[in-house]
Amino acid sequence: MAFVNGLKCRECGREYPAEPLNVCDFCFGPLEVVYDYATISEVISRDRIEKGPLSIWRYKDLLPAEADDPVDIMAGFTPLIKAKGLGKTLGLNNLYIKNDSVNPSFSFKDRPVSVAATKALEFGYETIACASTGNLACSVAAHAARAGIRAVVFIPSDLERGKIIGAAIYNPVLVAVDGSYDQVNRLCSELADDYPWAFVNINMRPYYAEGSKTLGYEVAEQLGWRLPDHVVVPAASGAMFTKIWKGFNEMACLGLLEGVEASPFGIDQNTVHHPAVTTAMHMIQAEGCSPIVTAWANKQTQVIAVRPDSLAKSLAIGNPADGIYSLKVIDNSGGSAYAVPESNIVDGIKLLAETEGIFTETAGGVTVSGLKHLAKSGAIKPDDLTVVYITGNGLKTQEAVEGVVNPLYIKPSIRGFEEAFTGGK
Amino acid sequence: MGKQRVKFTFEDNLVKQPVIYELGQKFKIITNIRRAEVGEEVGWVVLELDGEEPEIQRGLEWVSSTGVRVDPLGGDVIEG
């Protein structure tokens, strides 16, 4: 069973039952899940987690959906790899890669969507929907196929064909909207009010976002129930960034970390900061869409929306819903925020591929380039335990790295090969 | 009649303009402010608009034409 008390507005604190809501009726602030941590603390243990399935549902006690029969395509429990090659190149001796590009639909989105789809069935929905330019569409369509329900996926009509095949293969209703980014954005938001569908990132958002906490839990478990000194995380809406931090703090408060005593969550579950959580949270965005980094750099209390113009389409959210909350996490954790020049994104993809054998999408290129900056600037010291999150697969954005294809063209003969291979020497 | 929840963002050069007042005067739309913040560089207002849907659309197009940014509540809903 889910240990959920209800929903609560992050702005005015009003409480609501656990229903398909995402906005406070009074102040229009975002709603967050409220857990019954007192009961959770009585049942949860490392042993119970370790005996669970090799997916995000091993942490079912901390997820807001009934987990007896979840919509599970085995999202999560992805590898945490000691990055010897990349670490050597960057001068980092204790670097790990959380490789979330190997999820079933090839991005971290499978985590929140698995929770949202499970919750949608619980609420009795027969359709799950989303507006997406890539990864989210793939994940929603895949989970709907698994659940045997309909998926309706909205995409901008000018989206590259290659990007939609990964979603279309699962046979969703694919709606290509002819309009600007802002028009598509507003239309989908309005449709969520009019249709009885579970829009994973609109009316399911409080539950959906919680799935990303598992990125925090897994890293802690895979490191032997301890936390890293630094994490380096890409950001679009900022939701994943804040949820990793929340996951770390939940584990600390519940006494699941090595050598850490359990402690109360206090009044506001979403802003709790356990003193044992000393991980510095570093956020990376691409320069072409970096509203949160800009706000942090300018010490602003508000995030000013921008019109995205970045190679990293999966990070291109110009008006990030969790921007303000991300700023608080950066400051509370002693972290930082950095915007990677657009020209460095492909370099980051190649660096990861050539040193670790991992092919990531453009968002991963942003993250690796950001990590490189943090190492070079001294923000991360050589022996600091550092985890970099790689959240999507390179096969999704192959067009970004087409320039790497430069084969040796030869005649079908030994001589032809040797001439090309050795340059005739 | 329908309702729509939106966020208006004003750059500093637009903060002093009575855009919400004019929206109610120029169009048959009732505006209801729920949350707002005005800072040095930018101000934003979260509000509910009540009126006929085509009228709301015309009103929002006019707001956009003044330079004020109009977004759905809760940030962008299109994700990568």
B75 within domain boundaries: no
CA distance A93 to chain B (A): 33
- Which positions in chain A touch B60 (Cβ < 8 Å)? 186
B27 within domain boundaries: yes
Chain B interface, best mutation among A25, A105, A186, A240, by max B CB count within 10 A: A186
Residue type (1 letter), A40: I
Here the CATH number for the domain that contains residue B6 is 3.30.70.260
CA distance A236 to chain B (A): 8
Q: What's the residue count for chain A?
A: 425
- Confidence at residue A193, expressed as pLDDT on a 0 to 100 scale: 85
Q: Taking CB atoms and an 8 Å limit, are A133 and B48 in contact across chains?
A: no
User: What is the second-level CATH architecture of the domain A110-208?
Assistant: 3-Layer(aba) Sandwich (3.40)
B30 within domain boundaries: yes
- Identical fold at A80-107+210-404 and A110-208? yes
B75 touches chain A (CB under 8 A): yes
B33 within domain boundaries: yes
Split into its structural domains, chain B has a count of 1
d(CA A22, CA A29): 8
Q: Which CATH number is A80-107+210-404's, of 3.10.50.40, 2.60.120.1440, 3.40.50.1100, 3.30.1330.200?
A: 3.40.50.1100
CB atoms under 10 Å from CB of A47, counted, come to 8
B25 touches chain A (CB under 8 A): no
- Which positions in chain B touch A205 (Cβ < 8 Å)? 74
Coil, helix or strand at residue B6: strand
B36 touches chain A (CB under 8 A): no
- Which positions in chain B touch A300 (Cβ < 8 Å)? 39, 41
- Confidence at residue B73, expressed as pLDDT on a 0 to 100 scale: 86
Angle, CA of A156, A162 and A165, to the nearest 5°: 85
Residue numbers of the domain that contains B17: 2-69
B79 within domain boundaries: no
Residue A174 CA: distances (Å) to CA of A137, A186, A194, A341:
9, 18, 18, 33
B18 within domain boundaries: yes
* Chain mean pLDDT for chain B: 92
Residue ranges in chain A modelled with pLDDT below 70: 424-425
- Confidence at residue A424, expressed as pLDDT on a 0 to 100 scale: 60
- pLDDT band of residue B12 (cuts 50, 70, 90) is confident
- Confidence at residue B15, expressed as pLDDT on a 0 to 100 scale: 81
Packing angle of the helix pair A345-356, A362-377 (nearest 10 deg): 90
Give the predicted TM-score (pTM) of the model: 0.96
CB atoms under 10 Å from CB of A84, counted, come to 12
CA distance B15 to chain A (A): 14
Helix (H) or strand (E) holding A394: none
d(CA A72, CA A148): 12
ipTM: 0.90
Residue B32 phi/psi, 5-degree rounding, is -135, 100
- Which positions in chain B touch A199 (Cβ < 8 Å)? 77
pLDDT tens digit string along A391-418?
999 998 999 999 999 999 999 999 999 9
CB atoms under 10 Å from CB of A16, counted, come to 16
B76 within domain boundaries: no
Q: Taking CB atoms and an 8 Å limit, are B79 and A190 in contact across chains?
A: no
Coil, helix or strand at residue B39: coil
- Confidence at residue B38, expressed as pLDDT on a 0 to 100 scale: 86
Residue B78 has pLDDT above 70, yes or no: yes
pLDDT tens digit string along B28-64?
999 999 999 887 778 899 999 999 999 999 999 999 9
B80 within domain boundaries: no
Domain ranges across chain A: 4-55, 80-107+210-404, 110-208
Strands A80-82 and A95-99: antiparallel
CA distance B17 to chain A (A): 19
